[in-house]
Structure 1
Amino acid sequence: MIRHADISDNELRSKIRNHEIHFGGNRKLKIYGGLSCASGKRMKRENRVFFTSEQEALQNNYRPCGHCMNKAYKKWKEGMMNV
């Protein structure tokens, strides 16, 4: 997990271009989603984190975004209701 506040804009762009970063998340809400998600683009820089994989986000106890990852979110929600 990489905090947006800890990385320069040039380094971030480079990691995205090189496919080293695939998902972004909100550190306070513990939600992750795609880099093109409109909800994710509105969050504050100090709350934004980046993940190399979906597994990394899940291992850090983040849940899928209900907007850009609707199917994964529904699957996650069903799993939470069965607990």
Structure 2
Amino acid sequence: MILHASLGTSEMEIRRNLGRLIKNGGITLGGYKKAGIYGTLNCRSGKRMKIENRVFFKDEKEAISEGYRPCAHCLPEKYKLWKSSQEREDY
């Protein structure tokens, strides 16, 4: 998991490092650390969150291993699968 704060100190440094990691495949997903949700980098919901609450992941396996769940907006099918697995665990 890559925390937003670990990408640099200035906004320009953060943007440059983030862009470099996205371009070389080091980051493919973003997350919301307060709610434990991960989604695509283009998700409208994800773009609205405060910068200090953002985290980034190399892939879905990493996000899931960190305890994050799929976003219902940008990953609806994966969210439905996750939700149904949670409902089965409740029984």
Q: TM-score with structure 2 length normalisation?
A: 0.89
Distance 1:27 1:5 in 2: 12
Q: Which structure's relative contact order is higher, taking Cα pairs within 8 Å and 6+ residues apart?
A: 1
2:44 pairs with 1:47? no
What are the equivalent positions in structure 2 for 1:7-46 lying under 5 Å apart?
7=7, 8-46=14-52
Q: TM-score with structure 1 length normalisation?
A: 0.97
2:4 pairs with 1:4? yes
Distance 2:5 2:80 in 1: 30
Aligned counterpart, 1:65: 71
Query: What is the CA distance between 1:59 and its match in structure 2?
Result: 0.4
Look at both structures and tell me which one has the larger radius of gyration over its CA atoms. 2
Equivalent pairs counted in the alignment come to 83
Q: Structure 2: 5+ residue runs without aligned partners?
A: 8-13
Sequence identity of aligned pairs in percent? 49
Extract structure 1 runs of 4+ deviating beyond 3 A. Answer: none
> Where is the helix percentage greater, Structure 1 or Structure 2?
2
Distance 1:24 1:47 in 2: 10
User: Over aligned residues, Cα RMSD in angstroms?
Assistant: 0.6
